C-alpha cells in the first residue's frame, strides 16, 4: 500500500485531517517519566496509543531523538506504531537535503532503518537531492515550500528573475512538485498554517498534491482558515499539531489530556470542511 493510499484510508477511517507531531523535549516530559532510560519512547508511545483513532498521520521529528542519542527509541517508536496503529502512516520529519550518495544514505535511513512511510526534504539543492527518495516505490516525500517560520521570507518570497513569469521561489517549488519532479506521484509540499493566503496559492499551483501543514496550535495558525485555503476534493491536507497536544498536561494524565486536545483539534478542523 502506498503512502497516499494509507493517508486516504486513515483520514476516512478516523474522520481526520489531523497529524500528531511527536517532538519529545526531555525537560517538558512528565516528571515521572524524565528519569527513565526509555523516557522519549514511553512518552511518545503513550501519545500514539491515546490518539491512534483521531489522527490521519504521525510525524516524529528525528532531531529530538538524535540529540539525546536516542535513535534506538525512535526505531522502537515506529515499530510500536506499525504494531498498534498500523492504519496510520508515519511521516519522518527529517528535512534532509543533500545530493548523490549522501542522499541515498539518508533515504535508506528514513525508509529502511526507520521504516517511515514518508519523509520531509529540503529541495534547495535541486532535483538530484530529491530523486534518491523516489526510488522507494510508494513512499512519500514532502518538499519544504512555504514554511511557517518568519525567516521563511528570507528566501521563499524572493522572485526568480531567471524563470519565466518571475515566480516567487515557493511558487516555483510548487510548480516543480506538481509537474516535472512528480514522476511517480510521490511528492507533497510543506506549507505553514501561519500563511493561509500562501496555502491557497500553493493549492492553486499544485491542485492534487498532499499538503503537510504545520503551525496549528502553539505557533498560532488558524485551523479553520487552513482548511478553507488548502482542502479540496482532489488535494488532501495533513494539518500538524505538536506541542499543543503533547504538552496538554505535565501530570500523570498527560495521555488523556493529549487525547482531549487532539479530539478538539480534529473536530475544529472537521467543522471547517
- Is residue 95 part of the annotated active site? The answer reads yes
Nearest of 167, 174, 152 to residue 230 by alpha carbon: 174
The C-alpha atoms of residue 217 and residue 242 are separated, in whole angstroms, by: 8
C-alpha cell at position 121: 526534504
Distance CA 69, CA 41 (A): 12
String of DSSP letters for the chain: --HHHHHHHHHHHTT--EEEEE---GGGS-HHHHTSTTHHHHHHHHHHHHHTTT-SEEEEBHHHHHTTT-HHHHHHHHHHHHHH-TTS-BEEEEEE---HHHHHHHHHIIIIIS--SEEEE--TT-GGGTGGGGGSTT-EEEEEEE-SSGGGHHHHT-B-TTSTT--BHHHHHHHHHHTTT-TTS-EEEEE-TT-HHHHHHHHHHSTTS-EEE--BSTT-B-HHHHHHHH--SS--EEEEE-HHHHTS-SSTTHHHHHHHHHHHHHHHHHHT-
d(CA 81, CA 1): 16
Catalytic site residue from 31, 59, 95, 183: 95
Catalytic residues: 95
Amino acid at each position: 500500500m502506498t503512502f497516499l493510499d494509507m493517508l486516504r484510508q486513515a483520514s476516512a477511517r478516523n474522520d481526520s485531517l489531523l497529524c500528531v507531531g511527536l517532538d519529545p523535549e526531555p525537560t517538558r516530559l512528565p516528571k515521572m517519566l524524565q528519569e527513565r532510560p526509555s523516557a522519549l519512547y514511553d512518552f511518545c508511545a503513550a501519545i500514539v496509543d491515546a490518539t491512534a483513532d483521531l489522527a490521519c498521520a504521525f510525524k516524529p521529528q528525528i532531531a529530538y531523538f538524535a540529540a539525546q542519542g536516542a535513535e534506538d527509541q525512535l526505531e522502537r517508536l515506529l515499530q510500536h506504531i506499525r504494531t498498534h496503529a498500523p492504519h496510520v502512516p508515519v511521516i519522518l520529519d527529517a528535512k534532509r537535503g543533500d545530493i548523490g550518495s549522501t542522499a541515498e544514505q539518508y533515504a535508506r535511513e528514513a525508509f529502511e532503518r526507520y521504516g517511515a512511510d514518508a519523509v520531509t526534504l529540503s529541495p534547495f539543492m535541486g532535483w538530484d537531492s530529491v530523486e534518491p527518495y523516489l526510488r522507494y516505490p510508494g513512499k512519500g516525500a514532502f518538499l519544504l515550500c512555504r514554511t511557517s517560520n518568519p525567516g521563511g521570507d528570507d528566501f521563499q518570497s524572493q522572485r526568480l528573475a531567471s524563470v519565466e513569469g518571475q515566480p516567487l521561489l515557493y511558487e516555483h517549488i510548487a510548480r516543480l512538485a506538481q509537474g516535472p519532479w512528480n514522476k511517480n506521484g510521490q511528492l507533497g509540499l510543506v506549507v505553514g498554517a501561519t500563511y493561509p493566503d500562501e496555502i491557497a496559492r500553493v493549492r492553486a499551483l499544485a491542485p492534487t498534491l498532499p499538503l503537510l501543514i504545520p503551525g496549528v496550535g502553539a505557533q498560532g495558525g488558524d485551523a479553520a482558515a487552513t482548511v478553507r485555503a488548502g482542502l479540496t476534493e482532489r488535494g488532501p491536507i495533513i494539518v500538524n499539531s505538536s506541542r499543543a497536544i503533547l504538552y496538554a498536561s505535565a501530570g500523570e494524565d498527560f495521555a488523556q489530556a493529549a487525547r482531549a486536545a487532539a479530539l478538539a483539534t480534529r473536530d475544529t478542523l472537521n467543522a471547517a470542511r
